[in-house]
């Protein structure tokens, strides 16, 4: 990242003003809407002429991590929109009063020139939350900003409630609920609760585990994955933990645990960084609550964090209901599996997998995803990707760009002989989609254990990119796979 | 009663838990304490039935176990005969691929390397404190001054054995060994530590570091929560051969230039 060192230096200079370790006070004078609008206008000008570094320099950050991510986003937007970009923003929610902070929800309209033939400029609409406060000189200073999806499901009165996913959390003073896009969270649904004015955050992610595991094992899996990416992380022991609301009479079948992971070298002056993974498993669903902050902040804001955890509860505690796990899948992805046939009512997709192969729904950032696996190791995946944020539609060109990048990163190459065939070239399907089927082979730098050949079928619709991909352990299985991908249809 | 009776515990154990020493073994006393003929007859009779019954039950148990095993073998043989060949073949191990051995060795070696790294990373020494660095630099400064003084003294005494008063030579007549390489190394180490401390101040926040581990082409590169990167890692470990499961980033797709 080219701007990162400079931006981070700027962040470091303002870090001393970080209020994460100081409990916020509610007695500070409130900031007027007009004053915030004036600040937003200045930030719009900064967006149009500056970059990620200069934009974030306006902030006296409460949370360094979220501001650094915002800086990256602004920088990328700048690269995408060019030098003749403009941004106009308006407050569409709030002001909401928090201790020592005022929070508003903002809509940003970003415009930049289109191609020469285009009469209208390109336009992108984004939403964000921003927190401000008055500094010692009485000046309105932004302390926190985070991009968020324009459409917010499951959020009402600062509370995150999802009956299909069987939980609610939030509605606690001091916390701001920020939903996360699925393509960014890689979960069925997710949200972050920021304790405004501090560096305390609690993320909640809803998953359906691919393999049955105990809550302790799941917590350790997550912590170990984290430790692999952060070599200085010190993983603690997984311990029993029960959500406070269910402590007195835990529902039958509830399995929950937690594990603490410390990063003692990070923000060592505040006792180091601490992340605490809480895993709650019930009825085939998995809720992960990740608390992250410095040790000092966690100590200072213990009461607030405990209040947030007390607000977490399962809505339905009858675990015997078999549909508990399938309900959120149906609700969030439209998925339904009968035998080896997958149907998706939301996107009108249907595909029948090879007979005898087990079909299992998977959770991730895609619109839907299913995995078929044969007893001998042959595998097949069906995926659907919605149009990425900021784009209007999928096209074969965009699909190629994405697929080629993915293949390259996985060290796969199109089979040169097959690439000349008719099916390997883009052609229009009966359902007005663009289609192609490719054979992929590992390059010279082959991943250990990787299959010698894969089949990839792609169908491009304006609103959806559908991919069927897999490999056969035997030639017979490869034939079955080819037959299965021909059953793909969209109504 | 002999003096050995005083305070002696049953079994010959001495007070205080000490065992009797062989040198003090009193044979006469031992003979005296052995039961007399009359006393011998009064001793309770041993359980006469148990040895023979144990032997009997042991033999029975062995025979019974053997019979049961034979019956089980016979049952299993019948079941084997009843299973059709195609069902049995279904459970046969698949033929290993040509690169099975290489791939397995690679996986094992990678796993081993990773585990060693994880284990060793627990024993990485903590970073030196700024006070330590300051002390080291001060010490180096003093060391430099000392070296300078020593060098001046050496210039003043061109012949060995002529010592300047107040500056005794460490060589004791032998050619003096230069400490410069050592000081150079220490200085380099201190500079490296100092540089690390300085650069550490600009270490990216956790969220940015985690997001940086994703490709610029994927949407969670700008996720504000580190959970996304963690879940991606777990998904990769669970399904190492899955492709295209990470959603594309719209900004990356719409730009032709390099975007991070």
B198 touches chain A (CB under 8 A): no
The CA-to-CA distance between both ends of chain B, in Å, stands at 100
Phi and psi of A139, rounded to 5°? -90, 140
- Listed in order, the ranges of chain A carrying CATH 3.40.1000.10 are 334-490
Average pLDDT over residues B80-103: 78
Q: Are residues B214 and B188 in the same domain?
A: no
Averaged pLDDT in 10-residue chunks for chain A of 491 residues: 40 39 50 95 95 95 95 93 94 92 96 80 93 93 94 76 92 93 92 96 93 91 94 92 94 93 93 96 94 96 96 86 72 88 94 94 92 94 93 92 90 87 92 94 77 94 96 93 94 86
pLDDT above 70 covers what percent of chain A? 92
**Out of B90, B106, B219, whose CB is closest to A388?**
B219
**Out of B201, B210, B248, whose CB is closest to A388?**
B248
**Residue B95: inside a domain, yes or no?**
no
| Alpha helices, H only, A4-128 | 4-15, 33-49, 52-56, 64-81
**Residue B259: inside a domain, yes or no?**
no
Q: Are residues B198 and B216 in the same domain?
A: no
**Out of A178, A229, A232, whose CB is closest to B229?**
A229
A385 CB neighbours in chain B (<8 A) are 244, 247-248
The predicted model scores a pTM of 0.71
B248 CB neighbours in chain A (<8 A) are 385, 388, 402
Residue B221 per-residue DSSP state: G
Q: Which CATH class is domain A4-148?
A: alpha beta
Tens-digit pLDDT profile for residues B201-237: 568 999 999 999 998 899 999 999 999 999 999 998 8
| Alpha helices, H only, B122-179 | 130-156
Per-residue model confidence (pLDDT) at position A375: 92
The CATH code that applies to domain A184-323 is 3.40.1000
Q: Are residues B76 and B19 in the same domain?
A: no
Compare all CA atoms of chain B with the CA of A393 and give the residue at the minimum distance.
B250
Q: Are residues B139 and B76 in the same domain?
A: no
Q: Are residues B85 and B58 in the same domain?
A: yes
Per-residue model confidence (pLDDT) at position A4: 41
A280 touches chain B (CB under 8 A): no
Q: Are residues B183 and B137 in the same domain?
A: yes
Supply A44's token pair: 């719009």
pLDDT band at B56 (very low <50, low <70, confident <90, very high): low
Residue of B117, B241, B256 to mutate, testing the A interface (most A Cβ within 10 Å of its Cβ)? B241
Cis peptide before A16 (omega within 30 of 0): no
**Residue B165: inside a domain, yes or no?**
no
A281 CA: distance to closest CA in chain B (Å): 16
Tens-digit pLDDT profile for residues B151-165: 444 434 443 333 334
Q: Are residues B56 and B35 in the same domain?
A: no
Q: Which residues of chain B from 110 to 149 reach within 8 Å of chain A, CB to CB?
A: 110, 114, 117-118, 121-122, 124, 126-127
Strand-pairing partners, residue A49, are: none
pLDDT band at B120 (very low <50, low <70, confident <90, very high): confident
The CA-CA-CA angle for residues B223, A293, B132, to 5°, reads 115
Q: Are residues B11 and B36 in the same domain?
A: yes
pLDDT band at B87 (very low <50, low <70, confident <90, very high): confident
Q: How many domains, chain B? A: 4
Please tell me whether the interface predicted TM-score (ipTM) of this complex is above 0.85: yes
The answer to whether domain A334-490 has CATH 3.40.190.10 is: no
Spell out the residues 6+ positions from residue A144 whose beta carbon is closer than 8 angstroms to its own: A59, A61, A62, A63, A66, A67, A101, A103, A129, A130, A131, A194, A196
Per-residue model confidence (pLDDT) at position A13: 38
pLDDT band at B180 (very low <50, low <70, confident <90, very high): low
Task: Write the CA distances from B114 to A256, A479, B108, B118, integer angstroms.
Answer: 29, 38, 10, 6
pLDDT above 90 covers what percent of chain B? 15
pLDDT band at B168 (very low <50, low <70, confident <90, very high): very low
**Residue B174: inside a domain, yes or no?**
no
pLDDT above 90 covers what percent of chain A? 70
Q: Are residues B133 and B151 in the same domain?
A: yes
Q: Are strands A255-263 and A239-240 parallel, antiparallel or unpaired?
A: antiparallel
CB burial string B192-222: b at 16+ within 10 A, e below: ebbeeeeeeeeebbbbbbbbbebebbbbbbb
Tens-digit pLDDT profile for residues B131-143: 777 788 877 776 6
| Cβ proximity of A466 and A349 under 8 Å | yes
Spell out the residues 6+ positions from residue B20 whose beta carbon is closer than 8 angstroms to its own: B12, B13, B14
- Listed in order, the ranges of chain A carrying CATH 3.10.450.50 are 4-148
Q: Which residues of chain A from 99 to 128 reach within 8 Å of chain B, CB to CB?
A: none
B238 CB neighbours in chain A (<8 A) are 210-211
A5 CB neighbours in chain B (<8 A) are 202
Q: Are residues B28 and B57 in the same domain?
A: no
| Cβ proximity of A94 and A114 under 8 Å | no
Q: Which comes out higher in pLDDT, residue B11 or B136?
A: B136
**Residue B117: inside a domain, yes or no?**
no
| A366 three-class SS | coil
Supply A275's token pair: 């992340």
The CA-to-CA distance between both ends of chain A, in Å, stands at 43
Q: Are strands A239-240 and A122-134 parallel, antiparallel or unpaired?
A: unpaired
Question: What's the domain range around B29?
Answer: 3-42
Phi and psi of A306, rounded to 5°? -65, -40
Q: Does the distance separating the beta carbons of A388 and B249 come in below 8 Å? A: yes
**Residue B97: inside a domain, yes or no?**
no
Is residue B93 over pLDDT 60?
Answer: yes
Per-residue model confidence (pLDDT) at position B24: 65
**Out of B204, B245, B259, whose CB is closest to A8?**
B204
Is residue B38 over pLDDT 70?
Answer: yes
A468 touches chain B (CB under 8 A): no
Strand-pairing partners, residue A427, are: A435
Cα–Cα distance, A202 to A77 (Å, whole number): 27
B116 CB neighbours in chain A (<8 A) are none
B229 CB neighbours in chain A (<8 A) are 229
Q: Are residues B59 and B16 in the same domain?
A: no
pLDDT above 70 covers what percent of chain B? 57
Q: Does the distance separating the beta carbons of B222 and A184 come in below 8 Å? A: yes
Per-residue model confidence (pLDDT) at position A328: 84
Q: Are residues B132 and B198 in the same domain?
A: yes
* Mean pLDDT, all residues of chain B: 70
| Cβ proximity of A394 and A482 under 8 Å | no
pLDDT band at B189 (very low <50, low <70, confident <90, very high): low
User: How many residues can be counted in chain B?
Assistant: 260
Q: Does the distance separating the beta carbons of B245 and A366 come in below 8 Å? A: yes
Per-residue model confidence (pLDDT) at position B197: 52
Per-residue model confidence (pLDDT) at position A12: 41
Cα–Cα distance, A417 to A61 (Å, whole number): 56
B86 touches chain A (CB under 8 A): no
């Amino acid at each position: 990242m080219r701007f990162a060192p400079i931006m981070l230096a700027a962040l470091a200079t303002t870090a001393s003003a970080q209020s994460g370790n100081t409990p916020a006070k509610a007695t500070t004078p409130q900031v007027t809407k007009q004053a915030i609008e004036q600040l937003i206008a200045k930030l719009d000008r900064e967006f149009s002429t500056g970059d990620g570094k200069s934009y974030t320099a306006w902030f006296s950050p409460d949370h360094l991590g979220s501001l650094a991510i915002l800086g990256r986003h602004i920088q990328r937007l700048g690269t995408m929109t060019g030098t003749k970009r403009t941004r106009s923003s308006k407050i569409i929610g709030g002001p909401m009063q928090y201790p020592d902070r005022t929070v508003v929800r903002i809509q940003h309209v970003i415009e930049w020139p289109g191609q020469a033939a285009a009469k209208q400029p390109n336009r992108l609409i984004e939403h964000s939350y921003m927190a401000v406060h008055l500094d010692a000189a009485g000046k309105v200073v932004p302390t926190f900003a985070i991009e968020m999806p324009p459409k917010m499901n499951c959020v009402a009165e600062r509370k995150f409630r999802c009956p299909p996913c069987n939980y609610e959390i939030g509605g606690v003073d001091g916390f701001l609920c920020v939903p996360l896009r699925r393509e960014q969270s890689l979960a069925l649904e997710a949200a972050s609760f920021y304790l405004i004015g501090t560096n305390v955050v609690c993320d909640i992610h809803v998953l359906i585990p691919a393999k049955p595991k105990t809550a302790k094992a799941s917590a350790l899996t997550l912590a170990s994955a984290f430790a692999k990416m952060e070599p200085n992380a010190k993983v603690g022991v997984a311990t029993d933990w029960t959500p406070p609301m269910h402590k007195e009479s835990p529902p039958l079948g509830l399995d929950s645990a937690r594990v603490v992971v410390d990063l003692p070298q990070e923000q060592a002056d505040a006792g180091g960084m601490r992340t605490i993974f809480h895993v709650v498993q019930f009825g085939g669903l998995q809720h992960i609550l990740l608390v992250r902050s410095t040790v000092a902040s966690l100590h200072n804001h213990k009461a607030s964090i405990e209040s947030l955890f007390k607000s977490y509860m399962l809505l339905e505690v009858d675990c015997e209901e078999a549909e508990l796990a399938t309900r959120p899948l149906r609700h969030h992805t439209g998925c339904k599996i009968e035998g080896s046939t997958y149907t998706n009512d939301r996107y009108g997709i249907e595909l029948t997998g090879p007979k005898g192969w087990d079909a299992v729904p998977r959770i991730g950032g895609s619109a839907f995803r299913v995995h078929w696996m044969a007893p001998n190791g042959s595998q097949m995946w069906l995926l659907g990707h919605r149009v990425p944020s900021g784009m209007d539609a999928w096209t074969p060109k965009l699909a190629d760009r994405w697929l080629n990048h993915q293949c390259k990163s996985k060290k796969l190459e199109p089979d040169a002989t097959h690439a000349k065939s008719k099916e390997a070239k883009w052609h229009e399907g009966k359902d007005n989609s663009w289609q192609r089927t490719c054979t992929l082979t590992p390059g010279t730098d082959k991943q250990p254990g990787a299959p010698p050949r894969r089949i990839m079928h792609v169908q491009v619709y304006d609103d959806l990119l559908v991919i069927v991909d897999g490999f056969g352990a035997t030639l017979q299985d490869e034939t079955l796979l080819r037959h299965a991908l021909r059953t793909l249809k969209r109504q | 009663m002999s003096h050995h009776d005083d305070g002696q515990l049953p079994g010959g154990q001495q007070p205080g838990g000490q065992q009797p020493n062989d040198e003090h073994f009193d044979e006469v006393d031992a003979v005296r304490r052995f039961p007399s003929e009359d006393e011998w007859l009064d001793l309770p009779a041993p359980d006469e039935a148990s040895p023979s019954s144990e032997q009997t039950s042991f033999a029975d148990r062995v025979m019974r176990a053997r019979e049961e095993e034979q019956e089980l073998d016979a049952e299993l043989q019948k079941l084997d005969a009843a299973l059709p060949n195609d069902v049995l073949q279904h459970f046969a191990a698949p033929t290993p691929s040509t690169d099975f051995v290489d791939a397995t060795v690679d996986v094992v070696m990678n796993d081993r390397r990773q585990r060693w790294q994880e284990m060793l990373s627990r024993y990485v020494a903590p970073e030196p404190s700024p006070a330590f660095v300051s002390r080291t630099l001060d010490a180096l400064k003093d060391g430099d001054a000392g070296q300078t003084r020593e060098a001046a003294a050496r210039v003043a005494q061109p012949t060995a054995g002529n010592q300047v008063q107040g500056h005794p030579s460490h060589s004791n007549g032998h050619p003096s060994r230069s400490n410069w390489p050592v000081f150079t190394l220490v200085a380099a180490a201190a500079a490296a530590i100092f540089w690390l401390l300085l650069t550490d101040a600009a270490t990216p926040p956790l969220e940015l570091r985690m997001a940086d581990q994703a490709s610029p082409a994927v949407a969670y590169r700008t996720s504000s929560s580190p959970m996304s990167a963690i879940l991606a890692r777990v998904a990769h470990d669970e399904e190492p051969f899955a492709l295209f499961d990470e959603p594309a980033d719209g900004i990356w797709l719409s730009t032709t230039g390099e975007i991070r």
